[in-house]
């Protein structure tokens, strides 16, 4: 397994995912290189497609994943900026200069930023804080009935009923 600092060449499938030019949903198993592919895609967008870092939104589920993504992208850009005297070196250096504007964050922090910007529309204070404990217990309350064996059976049977009623 390569560390964040090691140079990795993408295989053919990873490369086609990283250089995809259409909207795409890509699924891959644990440890198969998802973060590596997304980080490479980011670098490809700024070096080859000439996007500015502020034009790219990179969202993850966890803070740990966001930090890892940030580190890997920064490292890849620094490597290209340092080594590549060709056409990719210049945009990589520009991206590094502007990296403070990079939006690589969790879904939660992105959503909170949107709400904060428009807080007055929702009648809440812009300096609101998120009650993590309450969020966890709400998520648990919603998820557990679904996950319990009876819950799953209930969900499946209601799905089947709907399918029968509305074929």
Ligand X SMILES: Nc1ncnc2c1ncn2[C@@H]1O[C@H](COP(=O)(O)OP(=O)(O)OP(=O)(O)O)[C@@H](O)[C@H]1O
- CB-closest chain residue to Mg ion: 35
106 scored as a contact of Mg ion (CB under 5 A): no
Q: Which is nearer to Mg ion, 36 or 81 (CB)?
A: 36
CA neighbor of 104 nearest in space, from 78, 132, 65, 77? 65
Q: Binding segment for Mg ion among 26-34, 52-60, 84-92, 147-155 (CB under 5 A)? A: 26-34
Q: Which is nearer to ligand X, 61 or 159 (CB)?
A: 61
Secondary structure, 3-state, 115-150: HHHCHHHHCCCCCCCCCHHHHHHHHHHHHHHHHCHH
Binding site for ligand X (CB under 6 A): 1-2, 8, 10-11, 14, 28, 30-36
What's the closest the beta carbon of residue 36 comes to ligand X, in angstroms? 3
Q: Which is nearer to ligand X, 8 or 112 (CB)?
A: 8
Q: Residues 77, 82, 87, 92: is their CA dihedral positive or negative?
A: positive
Residue 8 contact partner, candidates Mg ion, ligand X, none, CB within 5 to 8 A by sort of partner: ligand X
Q: Which is nearer to Mg ion, 28 or 144 (CB)?
A: 28
What's the closest the beta carbon of residue 121 comes to ligand X, in angstroms? 36
Q: How deeply is 110 buried, as exposed, middle or buried, from its count of CB atoms within 10 A (0-12, 13-18, 19+)?
A: middle
CA distances 88 to 23, 30, 63, 84, Å, are 24, 31, 30, 6
35 scored as a contact of Mg ion (CB under 5 A): yes
Q: Which residues bind Mg ion (CB under 5 A)?
A: 34-35
């Amino acid at each position: 397994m390569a560390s964040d600092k090691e140079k990795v060449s993408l295989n053919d499938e990873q490369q086609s995912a990283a250089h995809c030019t259409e909207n795409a949903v890509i699924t891959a198993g644990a440890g198969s290189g998802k973060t590596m592919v997304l980080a490479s895609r980011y670098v490809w967008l700024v070096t080859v497609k000439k996007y500015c870092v502020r034009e790219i939104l990179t969202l993850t589920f966890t803070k740990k994943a966001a930090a890892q993504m940030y580190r890997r992208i920064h490292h890849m850009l620094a490597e290209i900026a340092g080594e590549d005297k060709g056409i990719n070196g210049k945009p990589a250096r520009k991206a590094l200069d502007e990296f403070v504007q990079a939006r690589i964050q969790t879904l939660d922090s992105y959503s909170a930023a949107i709400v904060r910007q428009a807080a007055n529309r929702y009648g809440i204070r812009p300096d609101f804080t998120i009650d993590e404990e309450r969020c966890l217990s709400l998520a648990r309350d919603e998820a557990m009935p679904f996950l319990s064996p009876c819950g799953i059976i209930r969900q499946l049977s209601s799905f089947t009923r709907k399918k029968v009623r509305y074929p």
